[in-house]
Structure 1
Amino acid sequence: MGGVVHFEIPADDQDRARNFYNQALGWRIDPMPEMDYNVVITTPMDEKSGRPTEPGAINGGMMARDGELTSPVITVDVEDIDATLRTVEQLGGSVVKPKETIPGMGHYAYFKDTEGNILGLWENLPADAGGATG
């Protein structure tokens, strides 16, 4: 079975989008002007290979919204959905679907970013609540 290894997020205003994701989720976003692209670093990576150093972790990219690449949906693991949704709203994003619980597993929510993309958030239940770890 193939695992998720990359994601891409289109943006109408790449500077605004870089600022949003850096502040909302703590991601490092490195512009590659020669390609009109941005490398989105969500987890530590090996500088030689450019691959994440943590098994199962992924990094991605951001580029100008263009024709067919208009709206990705990815899900991001966070420690506190409520706090993240507050930050999203403070930065100009909006809640699409408030936090809901999947019993025995975790919480999820959806938000719209400053670029109009819809993304998901996931928060595991604590281990002592019978929550899954992944």
Structure 2
Amino acid sequence: MDPVVHFEMPYEDRDRMVQFYESAFGWKAQKLGPEMGNYVIVTTANADVKPDAPRGSIDGGFWEKRADWPAQVPAIVIGVGDIRGTMEKILRAGGKILGDPMQIPGVGEYVSFLDTEGNRASLLQPSM
């Protein structure tokens, strides 16, 4: 079974979004630079749950909204051992892959998809 390992949501105003989640929930934000698409990583608990843990919390991230990207809505990230094999399973099950996998330095390979209901979610194959 492949676990949910991360969540993602879009933002329009990065500073406003960071201020909101830090103030409302006590989350810790790490703002990345333009080389990482101005992504913001958020820590939601004192200790992140490992992919093989049965229960617990997960951390997440926020990306800047862009007019040329599809399905800019909150989404989950599913950890997988074989991203290309899972992409094939998604296609066979009736889903749609959104682009090619991208390498996130120090993290792993990542790609988004739409399920049969039009929900956007993503896959992450962690670096070994």
More strand by share: 2
Relative to the length of structure 2, the TM-score reads 0.46
| TM value normalised by structure 1 | 0.45
